[in-house]
Amino acid sequence: MPPIIDPKLCIACDRCVNICTEDVFFGSTRNEIPVITYPRECVHFNGCVDVCPVPGAIWLRIPMASMVVYRESADYELSADCRGSAHNGRLANGGGR
């Protein structure tokens, strides 16, 4: 699902346009409210929401299938095993590099 822009809150700073890796806002005019040209290209990495200086001006509807694994970054902390320090570069099945 594509991002939603509130035209009453958007200040047309173009930060969301510049950070989008998938060109969802392709063809948007500088210093105008961005146009969502390719909504199906959105990969929901939330960069547009994170860089927006106005809270609530842009937000994402995370698809239901992604909500199962979606978590706010502030609530997530990697364990030592996930960071790789416990594995010393070896694969989970015991194999080496």
For the chain, which domains are there? 3-83 (3.30.70.20)
pTM exceeding 0.85 = no
Q: Count Cβ atoms below 10 Å from residue 69 Cβ, excluding itself.
A: 7
The distance between the two most distant Cα atoms of the chain, rounded to a whole number of Å, is 56
Give the pLDDT of residue 73: 60
Give the pLDDT confidence score for residue 78 in this predicted structure. 53
Question: What is the reported pLDDT for 22?
Answer: 92
- Sequential pLDDT tens for the chain (97 residues): 789 999 999 999 999 999 999 999 999 999 999 999 999 899 888 899 999 999 999 988 876 666 666 566 655 555 555 544 444 444 444 444 4
| Cα-based distances in Å from 14 to 32, 39, 74, 81, 85 | 8, 17, 25, 39, 39
